[in-house]
Chain A
């Protein structure tokens, strides 16, 4: 049986009167990519923030391989890698210097750090640009470096918050290849996106959140069965299912 790497149990978070996340539960297994979908403001980023310890949940628990994630310095945080939606990089520094810093935050030093940096740069196809300042990179290269920074400490769980925003098809495909490679290595991937075709291509399972609640959690084929009567079938798009689950009203 595939080991369960990430187990989210009844997470709840409110900001004043606004309940951003309400009773959210789902799991991610090793070698599995779970797509986390939802309209703007549905609670996706808040959920990811609670998983990485950026926000303390009001209630509920985040279990990493069965053990609850503790405070800021919990060693289990070593097993989680975050690829934030923002290009969280120091433009002034070289790619190598960026990764050197982010690796050191996970206590990587010396040869282990150098090896990790070289491996991450090679994976995302930036091995020959390591010494260049990030400000000289294209948007796609920055996105790939953003991914590499989350992989340095070889985490078992990778949280990707819209990692392909604003990149060209070539870079997007390169990132997809990287993710499939990581999945093949047994990593557990939680992938937040607005692009339905990305979820269709990559996700083994899809969790849809709306108004802070999980409204669907199934495989792609299972999701298609949730489509309204008359449009369900093997060729129904995920977008049609998504809209049927979350409605067509604008959220921004």
Chain B
């Protein structure tokens, strides 16, 4: 291979690329802008001071001690932002999207829930209105409501005035209950003991009452990052994803550029020179790799300066994964040039392919939210390896060992794309 010719091709390709202001903006500015936005909305720099709250409405149509306790507990929950409109207002708020979920506690809930708590009465209905575009939040609200209702009802049952009345009432009606005799006897024993406990214990204020049923554990949450004092930096992931997306877009430009060179007769001039086919493709791959690497490193440099993103793991590993990304992207560009027929058509198809790759690779959203089968399938997508590899070397802070597989996988994809390009490249110029 002739070094002079290859270097001349690299130099020329870089000159052509950097002379196109639109390409440069698209490659360097766009990923930084989009990654900055995505990073900000997915955690930003360090742990957020206050987590995002789910807006919900709670309508208390009962006004009993139990339901007031439920509303108080829900209002105190750090995960929820609670309003207390009327039932009609709550429905309108869900319809407008102002709140995600509205919980309507009907009249008589305090009494009925107490009776149902000991298994003897009918369960009261609680209406839950929700925004169908927020199903995930609906699940979370359901769980939190279960916790607060159980705590409030059990607390009242085991210490409150209405609990005392309900125990008396349940004991009186126990013979009408259709439960098996053995169970009825045990429940009578339990309620009698409770009645005895109430008789010997004066009624207390709400705040001083025992908690009733509550979660039997306390959560100690810790975000596992590269170190004990290193907070998660959402920008690290977003810049990895967007950097890869836009370096692939840059490679579409390079691939389409080869088609345009062919269309403009430039390829005839290249092919008429005493230069081998391998040198031509190596020159193109090299210049493309340089541009791709520049796009990725520029994005991370910006993220480092402005958002404090650091390579917490191995710097060598980070560079190896980045070089693997660049090589994979460069050969992807060659593949576009080899199978594409027209510049316009090729750009459209290639853009779709890139968008699918970055979507499945976890550049837009983390792959853990994918179904299990899709998570397994995405290992055949090169961008998955690229994103995982860069995440490992940045915010996860893993060692060089964690860079080996992603780098090898990316080189493997580069070999595959390059071989296909070599096999499919149209060398003859009529």
Contact = CB atoms under 8 A, between A and B. Distances in A.
Contact of B16 (A46, A77, A93, A100): A93
Contacts of B8: 100-101, 104-105
Interface string B250-276: 000000000000001110111111111
A93 B19 contact: yes
B271 A90 contact: no
Contacts of B271: 52-54, 72
A101 B11 contact: yes
Given A46-B430, A55-B429, A92 B16 contact: yes
Q: Is the interface of B mostly helix, strand, loop or mixed?
A: helix
A84 B263 CA distance: 12
B20 interface: yes
B272 A77 contact: yes
B275 to A, nearest CB: 6
A73 interface: yes
A107 B5 contact: yes
Q: Is the interface of A mostly helix, strand, loop or mixed?
A: loop
Contacts of A92: 15-16, 19-20
A160 interface: no
B273 A105 contact: yes
A69 to B, nearest CB: 11
Contacts of B7: 104
Contacts, number: 96
A149 B266 CA distance: 11
B428 interface: yes
A196 B7 CA distance: 43
A54 B429 contact: yes
A145 interface: no
A107 B2 contact: yes
Contacts of B134: none
Contacts of B269: 82, 84, 88, 102, 105, 149
B275 A105 contact: yes
A45 interface: yes
Interface residues of A, number: 37
Nearest to A102: B269
A105 B280 CA distance: 10
A97 interface: yes
Contacts of B11: 101
Contacts of A109: 4
A163 B19 CA distance: 28
A85 to B, nearest CB: 7
Nearest to B275: A105
Contacts of B265: 84-88
A107 B8 CA distance: 9
Interface in B1-15: 2, 4-5, 7-9, 11-12, 15
Contacts of B16: 90, 92-93
Given A73-B276, A88-B264, A97 B428 contact: no
A54 B262 CA distance: 12
Interface in A98-139: 100-102, 104-107, 109, 133
B428 A56 contact: yes
Shortest Cβ-Cβ A-B pairs, 9 listed: A86-B265, A104-B8, A105-B273, A77-B274, A54-B429, A92-B19, A88-B265, A52-B272, A82-B272
Interface of B: 2, 4-5, 7-9, 11-12, 15-16, 19-20, 264-266, 268-277, 428-430
Given A52-B272, A56-B428, A92-B16, 17 more contacts: A15-B430, A45-B430, A49-B268, A53-B271, A54-B271, A54-B428, A73-B274, A77-B274, A84-B265, A84-B269, A85-B265, A87-B265, A92-B19, A92-B20, A93-B16, A101-B8, A101-B12
9 contacts: A53-B271, A54-B271, A55-B429, A72-B275, A74-B274, A77-B273, A84-B265, A105-B5, A105-B270
